[in-house]
Amino acid sequence: MKNICLTLTLLSFTALYAQDEIETAPDQYENPSPAPKGLFQIESRFTVQDNGSGSHSLVLPSTNWKYGVNKNLEVLLVTDLVFDKTPDSITKGLQPIKLGLKVKLWDGNDGLLPDAALSMHISLPKLASKGWQATYFAPNLRLLLKNKITEKIGVGFNFGGIWDGETPEAQFFYSCSPKYKLSQKLECFIESYGYLRSTTNWIDGGLMYLITNDIQAELSGGYELSATNGSHSYFGLAGLAFRI
């Protein structure tokens, strides 16, 4: 009886520990862990971006609405409210809403085998403000990988294709995002990411602070290494993520 009690206690601790801290970051990388089963996770991020030549974008905000269906599967809805200003035009409002799934493929080990998941989004072209509507439904497919190096250091990789609902050519995307745990509450990341068709390459970095295990505040900034029309874009971001 004692043994059973001990096993049960250990098991429940493991279950609690696995669900312990909210897992997300304000980077471009998507991590392979689905939201815990039965929990809603909401991630809202505000961005100010300078695109050079008098062009600015404000994201007010971009929100990921996630729900853990089971331990391997998360459903997701993405709403992006974007104000985009160029010298000739202003486009504002809701960009096409995205519906998606994240499915865990396998758990990694302490060696080279990473945690792996597949993320799939479909953007709904007419569920958007008039200026942002697209012509066609468009998919976004990504392979999400993560290696745990030590208790404090993890490295994540994404590879994928993003379609825009206007052209048949995909924008291929890569991201490499190492993370380092500074303390129990504070974590930082530095990331390199880019888009291959338009050959734009960026770096960004930021901080995540756990207010509780279920609430996280975020700050980050990014800089474009490649130049468009002689100028480098850059952005600053502030975000809040929580789960219920």
**Tokens representing residue 30 in the block:** 């998507």
DSSP E strands, the chain: 40-52, 55-70, 73-85, 90-94, 98-106, 115-123, 138-148, 153-162, 171-181, 186-195, 200-212, 215-224, 234-243
Stretch that binds other proteins, among 10-18, 42-50, 117-125, 184-192 (CB under 8 A): 117-125
170 binds other proteins (CB under 8 A): yes
Q: Which of 107, 99, 88 is nearest to 140 (CA)?
A: 99
> Please, which of residues 125-154 interact with other proteins by CB under 8 A?
135-139, 141
Q: Give least dist CB 27 to other proteins, A.
A: 23
For residues 29 and 163, which CB has a smaller minimum distance to other proteins in the complex?
Answer: 163
Q: Give least dist CB 218 to other proteins, A.
A: 30
For residues 78 and 138, which CB has a smaller minimum distance to other proteins in the complex?
Answer: 138
Contacts of 232 (CB under 8 A, 6+ apart): 52, 223, 224, 225, 226
Of positions 53, 70, 86, 109, contacts other proteins by CB under 8 A: 70
111 binds other proteins (CB under 8 A): no
Q: Which of 58, 61, 47, 33 is nearest to 204 (CA)?
A: 47
**Tokens representing residue 19 in the block:** 């669900």
103 binds other proteins (CB under 8 A): yes
168 binds other proteins (CB under 8 A): yes
Residue 3 has phi, psi (to 5 degrees) of: -60, -45
Binding site for other proteins (CB under 8 A): 69-70, 72-73, 101, 103, 105-106, 118, 120, 122, 135-139, 141, 161, 163-170
